[in-house]
């Protein structure tokens, strides 16, 4: 009997030990499952999610971009700053057969080219021409015994309807419009009168940041013959005067004026570069979702470096070297600021990113985080057993 009792007791103890071992194995399995989920979701998943959804930004000299002093510059009357300009010569003839005009656009370009070559170190100029027929002024001149009179207050109303007919808006470069208007032969000669009610001798006017408008009247003999050959020298001389005023040049034949033009344009380019870079730095600080690719970052670094070099040479009076580096800085800053890649993530800010991903991660993370208490208890039990 005693032997049977001892055997049964041993069997019960063996079963308890076996159950305890199975429970420990099952508990270990659950703990290892919790640890694996935690590692996959938190240790591996969150860093990968953060890395793959982050906004890439190349290293930028932000301190140099922000710590610049900007000058108060005004360029209300001149043309927009650019390294290239289109010069669009438009011949406007309301009555193309009365008279026929003997003039080609290439003649105007040939006469303009020597002047443009002198100021070409500052910018490049591409001369184009077009003819517009059967197009009236858009305003009604007043009539006197001798003339048809365009008053000064009527001049802005000439440009507005004409603007839609010009194809200058399709060019990526700023355009200098030079319009030559041929008055009708069957009317009195057409002249511009100023605010003092006196005839403007040049019979032309200038519009700020747009270009010039020149009215030419055919002589009586040409009207009778039906063919009019304008004085190309007079036309180009008027257009050159317009360009000089737009670029604020007094006398292009004077070496000092050329030097002053180079110095002024180089300084404007350096100031524009600094203003663009500072605006870009402020934009990047406010909007964190803007991507800065390596290409854009390289353009910004080149702009910063060349702006400093240009400023250094201009301070030394070396205007040619200063202008060379200023053009490089200006070009790279404009290309960096207008790069399309800056808008690639502009409309997916941080709050929207969290709004998309939190509903995905939160239901999975809550059980994992709550199971950490079970992991803590298991660690405490293991620690007691070891002790």
Query: Whats the size of the chain, residue-wise?
Result: 387
Q: Summarize pLDDT for 202-243 with one digit per residue, the tens.
A: 999 999 889 999 999 999 899 989 999 999 999 999 999 999
Sign of the torsion angle spanned by Cα atoms 95, 97, 102, 105: positive
Q: How far apart are CA 84 and CA 173, in angstroms?
A: 6
Q: How far apart are CA 17 and CA 15, in angstroms?
A: 5
R_g of the chain computed on alpha carbons: 39
Instruction: Find out whether 335 and 82 touch, Cβ atoms under 8 Å.
Output: no
Q: How far apart are CA 38 and CA 43, in angstroms?
A: 7
- C-alpha distances (whole Å) from 142 to each of 93, 146, 188, 218, 319 are 20, 11, 11, 19, 51
pTM as predicted = 0.75
Q: How far apart are CA 131 and CA 89, in angstroms?
A: 9
Phi-psi map region of 226: left, alpha, beta (phi>0 left; psi -120 to 50 alpha) = left
Q: 157-178 b/e with 16+ CB inside 10 Å = b?
A: ebbeebeeebebeeeebebbbb
Q: Look up residue 137 and give its two tokens.
A: 């002024």
Q: Summarize pLDDT for 159-207 with one digit per residue, the tens.
A: 888 888 887 667 788 999 999 999 988 778 999 998 888 899 999 999 9
Give the DSSP H/E element, type plus range, for residue 93: strand 84-93
Lookup result for tokens 């019979």:
203
Q: Summarize pLDDT for 238-248 with one digit per residue, the tens.
A: 999 999 999 88
Instruction: Find out whether 186 and 227 touch, Cβ atoms under 8 Å.
Output: no
pLDDT tens, N- to C-terminus, the chain (387 residues):
544 444 445 545 455 555 556 556 676 677 777 777 778 777 887 788 777 767 777 777 777 777 777 666 555 556 889 999 999 999 999 988 888 999 999 999 999 999 999 999 999 999 999 999 988 888 889 988 888 999 989 998 898 888 888 876 677 889 999 999 999 887 789 999 988 888 999 999 999 889 999 999 999 899 989 999 999 999 999 999 999 999 888 776 667 788 899 999 999 999 999 999 998 888 888 877 778 888 989 999 999 999 999 999 999 999 999 999 999 999 999 999 988 888 766 556 667 767 777 777 777 777 777 777 777 777 777 777 676
Prior bond of 320 cis (ω within 30°): no
């Amino acid at each position: 009997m005693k032997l049977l009792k001892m055997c049964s007791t041993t069997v019960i103890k063996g079963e308890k030990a076996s159950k305890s071992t199975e429970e420990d194995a099952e508990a270990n399995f659950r703990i290892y499952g919790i640890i694996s989920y935690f590692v996959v979701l938190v240790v591996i998943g969150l860093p990968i999610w953060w890395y793959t959804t982050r906004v890439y930004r190349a290293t930028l000299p932000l301190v140099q971009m922000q710590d610049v002093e900007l000058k108060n510059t005004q360029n209300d009357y001149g043309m927009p700053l650019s390294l290239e300009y289109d010069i669009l010569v438009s011949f406007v003839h309301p009555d193309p057969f009365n008279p026929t005009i003997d003039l080609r656009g290439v003649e105007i370009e040939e006469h303009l080219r020597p002047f443009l070559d002198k100021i070409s170190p500052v910018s490049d100029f591409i001369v184009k021409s077009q003819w517009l027929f059967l197009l009236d002024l858009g305003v009604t001149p007043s009539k006197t015994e001798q003339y048809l009179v365009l008053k000064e207050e009527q001049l802005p109303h000439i440009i507005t309807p004409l603007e839609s007919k010009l194809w200058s808006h399709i060019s990526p470069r700023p355009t200098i419009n030079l319009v030559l208007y041929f008055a009708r032969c069957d009317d009195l000669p057409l002249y511009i009168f100023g605010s003092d009610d006196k005839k403007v001798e040049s019979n032309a006017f200038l519009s700020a940041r747009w270009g010039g408008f020149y009215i030419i009247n055919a002589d009586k003999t040409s009207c009778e013959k039906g063919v009019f050959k304008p004085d190309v020298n007079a036309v180009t001389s008027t257009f050159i005067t317009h360009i000089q005023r737009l670029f604020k040049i007094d006398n292009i034949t004077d070496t000092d004026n050329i030097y002053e033009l180079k110095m002024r344009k180089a300084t404007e380019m350096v100031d524009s570069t600094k203003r663009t870079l500072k605006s870009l730095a402020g934009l990047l600080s406010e909007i964190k979702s803007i991507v800065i690719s390596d290409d854009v970052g390289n353009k910004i670094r080149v702009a910063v470096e060349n702006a400093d070099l240009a400023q250094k040479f201009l301070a030394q009076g070396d205007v040619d070297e200063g202008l060379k580096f200023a053009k490089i800085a200006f070009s790279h800053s404009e290309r960096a600021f207008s790069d399309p890649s800056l808008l690639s993530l502009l409309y997916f800010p941080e709050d929207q990113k969290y709004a998309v991903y939190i509903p995905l991660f939160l239901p999975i993370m809550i059980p994992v985080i709550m199971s950490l208490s079970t992991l803590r208890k298991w660690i405490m039990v293991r620690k007691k057993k070891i002790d």
